[in-house]
Chain A
Amino acid sequence: MESVEEAAGIRAPRRARYIRTILLELERIHSHLLWLGIAGHIIGFDTVLMQSWRMREPVMWAAEKITGNRKTYGQNLIGGVRRDIEKELIPELFPMLDTLEQQWKKVLDAIAGDTTLKARLEGVGILPADKARDLCVVGPTVRGSDIPIDSRVDHPYAAYDELVPRVITFTGCDNWARVLVRMHETFESIRLIREGLKNLPDGPILTQVEETPPPGREGMIVVEAPRGEAIHYVITGSDYRPYRWRVRAPTYQQLQALPSMIQHATVADVPITLGSMDPCFSCTERLEVIDVKTHKVKVYSNEEILNISRRKYGRG
């Protein structure tokens, strides 16, 4: 959205930018909570899966109350946001954040002394800082290797120029450091939401877009998604459609670091090392079909993929 706004030279009103920030941080909280659960599940510690997902549920409800849906918020529009955070809702959100913060502190306190957990995580999946820099790793993975990269601070968008997050880094370079980064980032997000809600400015939530941007304008935005930076690049086209829209999701870069992280590791450590960068394979999928017998490689064109999926849906 913001890349289109940049291309069109629009700036969303301040209130809208605050609402965006609050939602982005809610998103980060629930993503990190979900991730801790999954990481626990991978190493066979299902208690943490159950507990962190239980704590996550009120966050999802809060998002549902604000936007009308748990996950597909559908909140951003070019020039602002669709739904306002209503006045009556704000007092409900603070107790939710307080409870979450208390519970999360307890979890951190409990797992920090858990030697079983540390045996599985500490010193496993080492990614030294220079290697991480060479491979252009992003997000919590690189912050666990003591490199303070965070596009919320480096290239502020939404209201991050006013609500400045503290960049959390740990020096361990291992899976445990990445756990700690995410756990502490959750506290940071809770703080940002609180501050955002307290200082929520008045005003409109949507600017009227007077004219559509002419074709050929470019816009690019870097957004710190919970997994790392996501880049959106847009070239405007005619007929209200983009000419080109390229998304670079963070997992693809992260995966480049995997071979060096799992070097000399035991097989049992591979899943958690992969899990420690919170991979999203649907963001990374590139399709190439190789016939095993003839070793022929076939690359499908856009048209062919469309036709296959249409046939599958019984249309066309």
Chain B
Amino acid sequence: MFRSKIKEAIICLEAGRVTLAYPFAPAFIPKGFRGLPSVDINRCVGCGGCASVCPSSLVEIVDEPDRTTITRYFERCIYCGRCADVCPEMAIEMTERFETATNDIRDLHVVHHIYMATCSRCGRCFSSQTPLDPPDYRSFKGTRLNRLGVEST
């Protein structure tokens, strides 16, 4: 009985102090850690790849005539990194941020608008260089909009 109590005490004493100084010191983050994804919207072409693989379905993509709106509800993100793996333009990067607690859920919502133009040859959407570089509506044919049942202008 006493022997085992002493053994237990030795286990505790041997450990010494193990408490980390976090949150007063930064936490150790290993290489390859997957934190909150960050999106470089300048690279995004609105292909929707991230929306289709996201296991939490937190990426919402809405096509409007001249632009695509991508809304991400990051409160549901599980930091799996599938979106970063799949993005053809490498627009998504997994950051080291994980302290995302907030009082207002809207802090975690990210809305992006991409101004889309259509290729005059194949009629598919691509993102225009800048919002000031206006897309040509007249050639909106055979695009995703039509497939969604929206009349082209």
Contacts and interface: CB of A to CB of B under 8 A. Distances in A.
Contacts of B136: none
A86 to B, nearest CB: 9
Contact of B12 (A51, A72, A114): A51
B102 interface: no
Interface in A45-72: 47-48, 50-51, 54, 57, 61, 64-65, 68-69, 72
Contact of A114 (B8, B15, B85): B8
Most A CB contacts (10 A, CB to CB) among B8, B31, B34, B94 go to: B8
A47 B33 contact: no
Contacts of A68: 32-34, 81, 94
A48 to B, nearest CB: 8
A109 B33 contact: no
B79 A69 contact: yes
Interface residues of B, number: 24
Contacts of B4: 110-115
Size range of the chain A interface in the assembly: 20 to 34
Contact of A103 (B3, B11, B32): B11
A244 interface: no
A47 B8 contact: yes
A82 B53 CA distance: 14
B15 A51 contact: yes
A41 interface: no
Interface in A72-123: 72, 74, 82-83, 103, 106-107, 109-116
A69 B34 contact: yes
Contact of B79 (A72, A106, A111): A72
B1 interface: yes
B7 interface: yes
A104 to B, nearest CB: 10
Interface of B: 1, 3-5, 7-8, 10-12, 15, 18, 30-34, 78-82, 85, 94, 105
22 contacts: A47-B12, A54-B15, A64-B30, A65-B30, A68-B32, A68-B33, A68-B34, A68-B94, A69-B33, A72-B78, A72-B79, A72-B80, A74-B34, A74-B80, A83-B32, A109-B7, A110-B4, A110-B7, A110-B11, A113-B7, A114-B5, A115-B4
